[in-house]
Structure 1
Amino acid sequence: MPHIQSDVTKCQGYANCVALDSEHFDLDDDGLVVVLREAVEDDERETVNAAVRSCPVNAIWVSEG
């Protein structure tokens, strides 16, 4: 099953991911990405991929398996 990974050292707090998919992403008190749910169900894949693509600094991605 695909799962979401993040690198908070790259995150700049743009929150594009949160705007597109608040079921999987949020920002912490420092304004950095928090992955709320790592697992990506088949019916969520399109939304998650859109959120991942929206990150201008590539701080989030989906890994297979």
Structure 2
Amino acid sequence: MKIEVNLNKCQGYAQCVAEAPEIFTLNADGVAEALSASVAESDEKYAIAAADLCPMQAIIISD
């Protein structure tokens, strides 16, 4: 699974960081970014949950 954050949409609510800190972090500008472009199979459920929680729907998941 691949994951990315649309930096133009992210408003820095950090719901993804709270849900999946092993996948997301906040950068110096206060917006979320993925720590890696790919997500381990064991972490996929956390990535999906984080995307669902994002109020701006800024997280893009692809296979």
TM-score by length of 2: 0.91
Is 1:30–2:29 an aligned residue pair? yes
Q: Is the 8 A contact 1:24 1:38 kept in 2?
A: no
Q: Is the 8 A contact 1:52 1:58 kept in 2?
A: yes
Q: CA RMSD in A?
A: 0.9
Deviation of the 1:47 alpha carbon? 0.9
Q: Name which one, 1 or 2, has greater alpha-carbon Rg.
A: 1
Q: Which amino acid aligns with 1:37?
A: S
Q: Is the 8 A contact 2:2 2:61 kept in 1?
A: yes
Aligned partner of 2:49 in structure 1 is 50
Structure 1 gap ranges (5+)? none
Q: Is the 8 A contact 2:4 2:33 kept in 1?
A: no
Deviations 1:11-51 (A, max 9, x none): 01000000011111011111111110221222111111101
Q: Which amino acid aligns with 2:7?
A: V
Aligned partner of 2:11 in structure 1 is 12
Q: What count of residue pairs does the alignment treat as equivalent?
A: 63
Deviation of the 1:57 alpha carbon? 0.5
